[in-house]
Structure 1
Amino acid sequence: MDGEEFSGNEVSGKRLMVSFGGLLTPQLFGRTTFTLENDRLVERSSGIVAREKCQIPLAMISAMAVSTRGNPVFLVFGILTLPLFGLGLLFILLYFLLPRHFLVTHSNNDITALNCRGDLRPYHDFADAVTRAAIEAQESSRGSHAAPHAAPHALLASPAQAPASKVTCPGCGTEYKLPAGAAGRRLRCQKCQSIVG
C-alpha cells in the first residue's frame, strides 16, 4: 500500500502541519500514526528532529473524515503562469487531476491530520471505527455523570419582585404567566393564535 500501514486499529501516513485557520500542509519528512485504543485516539508524529505524541479521549472527538483537496501550489502556479503559452492551464489541470487526501480528526479546540496515500479504503474504515467508538464513549460518559449540582447560594439578596400575573387565553384556555413589568400588555397565544390580554 505504498508504505502506509493499516492493521485494524492503526493507520499511518505522511506528517501534516495544521496551520492557523485549518490549512493542512504536508511536511517533506516525517510520519504520523493514528492508533485507536480502548478509550482514546493516540497520534504519534515524528520528523527529522521533532517527536510528538498526542492523546485525545474518544468522548472529546466530534468528527473524523477523509478530506480530498487539490494541491494549492498547482493552483497558484497555474494562475501566475496563465499568460505563458498556456503553461498555466497545465498547472490548473494538475490541480484537479492530482488531489491530496487527508484523514482529519476534529475534537474540542483541536484538529489533527495525516496525509493519506494509496488505497483510501483503510482510511475510511479507520474513520468509521473511530467514529463508532467516539459515539459509544460519548453515550457512556453522558450516562455516568451524577445528577447536576445544586445552584450556588446567592451572595447578595435580590430585590423583592412583584408577583407574576396569570392570563388565560379565551380561545383555547391555555394559561400564561406574565412577568411583573408586562401587566396590561397584549400577547398572541402560541396554540390558537388569538390575542390575549
Structure 2
Amino acid sequence: MKIKEVIVVEGKDDTAKIRQAVDADTIETNGSAIDHDIIQRIKHAKQKRGVIIFTDPDYPGERIRHIVSNNVQGCKHAFLTREETRAKHNKGLGIEHASVEAIRRALSLVYEVGAEFDNGITREDLLQYGLLGGPQAKSRRERLGKRLNIGYTNGKQLLKRLSMFELSKKDFVAAMEQIIQEEYDE
C-alpha cells in the first residue's frame, strides 16, 4: 500500500513501524518540542503532497497533533486507539507497538479537516448522551472516538473534535445509540 501524503509521526520508531505496514515518507517531530524548522518542513510537504498527522493516543501525541494542526491548515488525521498501541506487558504505548494491520486500517480511514463546520451538535447533546460528567462519560467518549475513528478526547474538546471532522448530528446520534445499546446488552 503506497501512501501519497507525508505522514507526521513522533519519532524514528514510529517511522520504522509505519514503513513495515505501508510505503510512505514521514516527518518526525522528535516529540512535542516541535521547532520552527519542522513546522516549515511540514508546511512544504502539505503544499507538495499533503500531510497525514499520525501521533500516539496520549497527551503528548494529542499536543503534537494540536500544534501541527494549528500551524498547518488542512492536514488529514489518522488515529489508533490506546488498546491498539499498548506495548506488551503494558510498558508504554505508541504507534511503534501497533500491529501492521491496525496501522493500515487507520491510514485507510484518514479524515481531511477543513474549516470549522456547524454540525448542529450541542453541549446539551453531549450531556444528554452522558459524554460529560458522570460515571460513564470517559468510557462513552472512548467508545465514540473508536466508533467514529476520531480518537479519544476529553469532554472539553469533544465538540470541537466532532466539528473539526465534520461529523453530522445524524452520525453522532446513530453512534451514541449503538454505544448505549451495547452497554445495555453487556
TM-score interval for Structure 1 and Structure 2 normalised by the shorter chain: under 0.3
- Structure with max Cα Rg: 1
TM-score (norm 2): 0.25
Instruction: Determine which structure has the larger strand proportion and give its number.
Output: 1
TM-score (norm 1): 0.24
Instruction: Determine which structure has the larger helix proportion and give its number.
Output: 2
